[in-house]
Chain A
């Protein structure tokens, strides 16, 4: 009952936001072009947040995703500088992401460091590595192959009408692909269900015969690779790489997952709910910019909305407990 209430409150809130922008920006907000823009703007955040959902499904965090995204971008750029072909450079970045993720997993699952502490430490490690690899510089211009930066500027053509053509951006397609894969893994495989069981009660899961360590370790590989993919998307979008450019993704990604959790029945993180959370943040940025709300006011508003949403959900859960 309360789950349904909380969820509908969340959905009402989201619809209210959409309605507000539709009314305030009648000519521009509810257009296909604008939504294609939004989809592209949130694509990197979506990839990080969706893979963060994997780790949060078992009740953990990965704070290192932002600096891993930065690291992945500069690793690819460094490979470009060495004259590597694009696929090899991208592959190298993804391998770095995978290794970083597995390293986090080893620290948390095998060594037994709290996720908050372990990934806070690797956040610093990855960030330092990004500065080492890049020498603290921004790699841009001719050093970035145009085929790489063109990827983020093109997509599937949707219309051949007048004016600038409508395209479904490649970055959006990548984000959808990652989301689909993670959705299948979390919702449709026994592996995913076991991660949720870990999130429910680790000790019960262990006594019920689940391979807790292997599950925990492997889940961090998702955030590592996801962060690496997002870092590459970002580098392609800005046609450059610097050692801090992905750092902002971490907090927003965690915020998105939390927003999404307010929409699910038992308050657990789920892929589509996370995407809804990402979308809310993206729509706020897009709509408030179009309404010319000051950028600092915008940040305050976004934080306040997260507090309200998560706070309502916490209050809803509290009353559920008191009644039981």
Chain B
């Protein structure tokens, strides 16, 4: 049996150069730090960031890290063989519905991930199939449905005899997939246990070094108050006549499968995509369809893609926090008041539990969880009436997740209304007062969150729309 032993590695796997340590494959040490060596040794890596080449075909994306099949040895691409190899690999994980000739940009994020995975299954001129997959947060960009498809692929891989090193923040996935669990904290190895000998609580305790039994803090104040944000028959690309009313201090979850229109709903409310119809009212006053107007009226937005849509990575924490509020914190509305900005950024950083060297630290130097807290600090800087959150804990470690949940609960107790779209069902069930369910861009359910289980909610995501409610 093939076995890989890691000994005292600080960094691994070629993308980041190992500083020290050894990696032993069947008793032979592997040279560190070269992706090619890892590949030849039969290891495959699925990174969290997809980096698809959107203009190329599916088959070409699957061949990015290898030579294209050649014709006549003249360096001419043999397109037929290229597509056949891709299609064989796609079939192998049950993805025959995806054409190897399709353009990558026409695929959803989830399918792009699966295509990437299928790319590792292409057979190179008779060489052995890979036997160890390293997956870093592979479901970060996927919906529940897409994740399920990935999981069944992973099951297939393990049945075939390949090993999977699955790196994830998501407890349920780890518990569902893993045979053994290794916990790392702050770069140190804490434990490795058989799945039968551990539990979610235990893993969380080992990860954080503290007890997180109350991951989802309970509501302290009474029921939410009067309606604040009213949305009527909102229509946008991917969204059809959705209405909802958000009360003061309410947390409303937005649930749905991929493409159900969760992100579209939030973006249409913020005016980040053009509205084709409908109206958004805050305190009975219409909010124009421009992000600038939405922010000015007291709506604050945490976008789904932290790195591409949220942060100026090379800029400081202060610059990032102040971005939408520059005019409000300026002298005469024009001249920058750097002292006041720094003060505010520091105070907000403390409020959201940000761990950084100071407000001047560039965001690229922060961990994912702390980057997300910077985006939250930005949302809070303008004392918002309503928070619009798209996947607020995506790619965030458990400790930072807990911080964010406590923050959201406290804000809602203070009367801030929160509209939160998430593919993390436990998080919706743990925090939301009500959950709106979208299917195909239409509202199908508005659920009171009383003693609901994940299975109940999942059932609502899949069931057929009820005509009466779509028109609500």
Binding site for B on A (CB under 8 A): 187-194, 196-197, 200-201, 203-211, 266-268, 322, 324
Contacts and interface: CB of A to CB of B under 8 A. Distances in A.
Contacts of A322: 16-17
Nearest to B316: A266
B314 A208 contact: no
Contact of A208 (B293, B295, B313, B362): B295
A298 to B, nearest CB: 34
Contacts of B16: 322
Question: Which 7 pairs show the lowest CB-CB distances between chains A and B?
Answer: A200-B312, A209-B295, A190-B326, A209-B292, A209-B291, A208-B324, A208-B323
Contacts of A268: 314
Nearest to A321: B364
Interface residues of B, number: 37
A194 B333 CA distance: 13
B330 interface: yes
B301 interface: yes
13 contacts: A189-B334, A196-B315, A196-B319, A200-B314, A200-B319, A201-B312, A201-B313, A204-B311, A207-B270, A208-B291, A208-B301, A209-B324, A324-B364
Contact of A193 (B272, B296, B313, B336): B336
B308 A190 contact: no
B329 to A, nearest CB: 8
B326 A194 contact: yes
Interface of B: 16-17, 270, 272, 290-296, 301, 303, 308-316, 319, 322-324, 326-327, 330, 333-336, 362, 364-365, 378
Contacts of B301: 207-208
A188 B335 CA distance: 5
A190 B324 contact: no
A138 to B, nearest CB: 43
A266 B315 contact: yes
B362 A266 contact: yes
B362 A210 contact: no
Contact of A324 (B17, B272, B316, B365): B365
B319 A197 contact: yes
Nearest to B378: A208
- Chain A CB within 10 Å, residue with most, of B272, B291, B308: B291
B308 A203 contact: yes
A205 B322 CA distance: 11
Given A191-B334, A204-B303, A208-B301, 18 more contacts: A189-B334, A190-B333, A190-B334, A193-B326, A193-B336, A196-B315, A200-B319, A201-B313, A204-B311, A205-B312, A206-B272, A207-B272, A208-B295, A208-B324, A209-B295, A209-B324, A266-B316, A268-B314
Nearest to B360: A265
Contacts of B310: 201, 204, 207
A197 B270 CA distance: 19
Contacts of A266: 314-316, 362
Given A190-B336, A266-B362, A197 B327 contact: no
A200 B326 contact: no
A4 to B, nearest CB: 12
B323 A210 contact: yes
Contact of A207 (B291, B327, B335, B365): B291
B457 to A, nearest CB: 28
A74 B95 CA distance: 66
Nearest to A187: B336
Contacts of A189: 330, 334-336
B271 to A, nearest CB: 9
Contact of A203 (B292, B309, B315, B316): B309
Given A188-B336, A204-B310, A207-B301, A193 B319 contact: yes
B303 to A, nearest CB: 5
A114 B16 CA distance: 34
B372 to A, nearest CB: 13
A207 to B, nearest CB: 5
